[in-house]
Amino acid sequence: MKNVTTRAVIYKKNLENNISEIKKLLKPETKMCVAVKADGYGTSALETARLCEKLGVYMLAIARVSEGIELRKDGIKLPLLLLSLCCPEEFPDLVKYNITPFIFGKEHIQALEDSLTELEESKGIIKTLEVHLAIDTGMGRIGCRKEEAAEQAKLIASSKHLKLSGMGTHFALSDCVEEKGIDYTNLQFEIFTEAVNAVKEAGIEPGICHAGASAIACSRSDIHFDMVRPGIIVYGYYADQVDKKYLESKDINLDLKPIMQFETKVSAIRRFKPGQSVSYGRTWICEEETDIAVLPVGYADGLLRRFSPGLKVAINGKEYPVVGRICMDQCMVNIGKDNKEIKCWDKAVIFGPVGQDGALQDAETLAALGNTISYEVMTSISKRVPRIVVDNC
Ligand SMILES: *Cc1c(COP(=O)(O)O)cnc(C)c1O
């Protein structure tokens, strides 16, 4: 394991556990499209992709063409679904790297077809590109309305270089288990079903139909269609209200394990006397003599500035408070005077799987402190933090 101070440890066993746990909840014929966008939610898209290939996952979801190019260059062969729109300049790369885009809108479809025609005319590249038609059933993001679905599917089907190989939509309230959430999800499900049927009635094969992300994958097997697109549960966190307790109440057993641990090392221990202060703004002033541990981790690593005050880190099995403002590259922890349990270069864990390798809180607990969600805490871990993949737990 690379010996650096601040790092994100990725537990492969936990990832493997999560993927097989999710699979157990799917019908044998239901396909899985694992979201590896944003570098696998800040973990490692490549590690996740490799494991997905090994474990028989059908497809991977990305959000940028650049993410697809990187995976292809690293040898990933699985089909890639591009969840958000790309600009016309990126169209040739869809062909070159075999990326299946979500698409909708007559102009966008026509522009893609024109770009492929030009590739054929100028470079002699004759390729058909598989595309999935996006339907907006109430998320209010991308997709055509259900009334436009048949017409746009026809446009795709009649294009020389495009092949409709799927249709998808996205739910807005699937992680809410209150009545308003369930009602809205059911409404979106109905609208999507109508769009799919309209395409079929127009004599066009819609391909693989898919709608649900993590929340649906684990709680609503009645609306899985042909494929689900889980993300957050793959990385070990439940989708908001669709948590372990809720699932158990529905007799669904899903045992997820966070796959990432964000940790650093104590880089200095310094004595503070009453009146001396810590960090910018002098928001913390020493009241009685104590020792302060300096940690080389800050908001440029993804330790959000708003986590302080309130943030606690785990050192050798105990929690200690961060005092003063979190800086760009460092923060300070009050460990108490003459703490015999801590020495320089001891490991300090910010979040990770609780009870596994020293973490006393996971990303979800930390997220609550910063008024956000586990997704944002994980994807905030920045590029300069090395991801260290370990086999064992
Ligand atoms: C990010 C995303 C997913 C995965 O969402 P999770 O809540 O992490 O499971 C699935 N589908 C689409 C369209 C997305 O944007």
The per-residue pLDDT for 124 is 83
Residue 213 in contact with ligand 1 by CB distance below 6 A = yes
Centroid of ligand 1 to alpha carbon of 375 (angstroms) = 10
Centroid of ligand 1 to alpha carbon of 172 (angstroms) = 10
Residue 35 in contact with ligand 1 by CB distance below 6 A = yes
Residue 378 in contact with ligand 1 by CB distance below 6 A = no
Which residue is associated with the tokens 């015999």? 340
Task: For a ligand 1 pocket test, name from 62, 219, 229 the mutation site with the most ligand atoms within 8 angstroms of its C-beta.
Answer: 229
Paired with 129 in beta bridges are 162
Q: Would you say residue 386 has pLDDT above 90? A: yes
Centroid of ligand 1 to alpha carbon of 275 (angstroms) = 50
**Measured CA distances, 97 to 47, 52, 118, 313 (Å):** 19, 19, 17, 43
**Considering the chain, what percentage of its residues have pLDDT values greater than 70?**
99
CB 258 within 8 A of CB 353: yes
Q: Comparing C-alpha atoms, which of 123, 364, 385, 146 is closest to residue 238?
A: 364
pLDDT tens-place string over residues 82-103:
999 999 999 999 999 999 999 9
How far is residue 202's CA from residue 256's CA, in Å, rounded to a whole number? 42
CA atoms within 13 A on the CB side of 50: 9
Centroid of ligand 1 to alpha carbon of 152 (angstroms) = 24
How far is residue 58's CA from residue 78's CA, in Å, rounded to a whole number? 7
The per-residue pLDDT for 125 is 79
pLDDT tens-place string over residues 114-159:
999 999 999 887 889 999 999 999 999 999 999 999 999 999 999 9
Q: Would you say residue 393 has pLDDT above 70? A: no
The per-residue pLDDT for 2 is 65
The per-residue pLDDT for 392 is 66
CA 165 to chain centre: 24
Q: Are strands 331-334 and 318-323 parallel, antiparallel or unpaired?
A: antiparallel
- Residues annotated as catalytic are 37, 280
Protein residue with least CA distance to atom 14, ligand 1: 83
**Considering the chain, what percentage of its residues have pLDDT values greater than 90?**
97
Q: Would you say residue 277 has pLDDT above 60? A: yes
pLDDT tens-place string over residues 5-34:
999 999 999 999 999 999 999 999 999 999
SS3 call for 18: helix
Average pLDDT over every residue of 61-79: 98
Mean pLDDT of the chain, nearest integer: 97
Contacts 24+ apart (CB under 8 A), 96-99: 97/65, 97/68, 97/69, 97/72, 98/72, 99/62, 99/65, 99/68
SS3 call for 118: helix
DSSP sequence for 215-275: HHHHH-GGG-TTEE---GGGGT--BTTB-HHHHHHTT--------EEEEEE--EEEEE-TT
Residue 143 in contact with ligand 1 by CB distance below 6 A = no
Centroid of ligand 1 to alpha carbon of 214 (angstroms) = 7
pLDDT tens-place string over residues 339-375:
999 999 999 999 999 999 999 999 999 999 999 999 9
Average pLDDT over every residue of 201-211: 98
Helix, strand and coil content of the chain, in percent to the nearest 5, comes to: 35, 25, 40
Q: Would you say residue 1 has pLDDT above 80? A: no
Centroid of ligand 1 to alpha carbon of 33 (angstroms) = 10
Residue 83 in contact with ligand 1 by CB distance below 6 A = yes
Atom of ligand 1 lying closest to residue 230 CA: 9
Atom of ligand 1 lying closest to residue 63 CA: 15
Query: Amino acid letter at 126?
Result: I
Residue 214 in contact with ligand 1 by CB distance below 6 A = yes
**DSSP strands (E only) in the chain:** 7-11, 31-35, 59-62, 80-82, 99-103, 129-134, 162-168, 208-210, 227-228, 260-265, 268-272, 277-278, 284-285, 290-295, 312-315, 318-323, 331-334, 347-351, 387-390
Atom of ligand 1 lying closest to residue 233 CA: 9
The per-residue pLDDT for 8 is 97
Query: Amino acid letter at 98?
Result: N
Q: Comparing C-alpha atoms, which of 142, 151, 236, 219 is closest to residue 185?
A: 219
CB 65 within 8 A of CB 86: yes
Atom of ligand 1 lying closest to residue 217 CA: 9
Residues with Cβ within 8 Å of residue 278, at least 6 apart in sequence: 272, 284, 285, 286, 292, 323, 324, 332
pLDDT tens-place string over residues 173-187:
999 999 999 999 999
Residue 181 in contact with ligand 1 by CB distance below 6 A = no
Q: Comparing C-alpha atoms, which of 36, 32, 57, 37 is closest to residue 228?
A: 32
Residue 169 in contact with ligand 1 by CB distance below 6 A = no
Give the phi and the psi of residue 379 in degrees, each rounded to 5: -75, -10
Average pLDDT over every residue of 285-299: 98
pLDDT tens-place string over residues 247-276:
999 999 999 999 999 999 999 999 999 999
Which pair of tokens denotes residue 283? 């928001």
Atom of ligand 1 lying closest to residue 102 CA: 13
Burial of 85 (0-12, 13-18, 19+ CB in 10 A): middle
DSSP state letter for 212: -
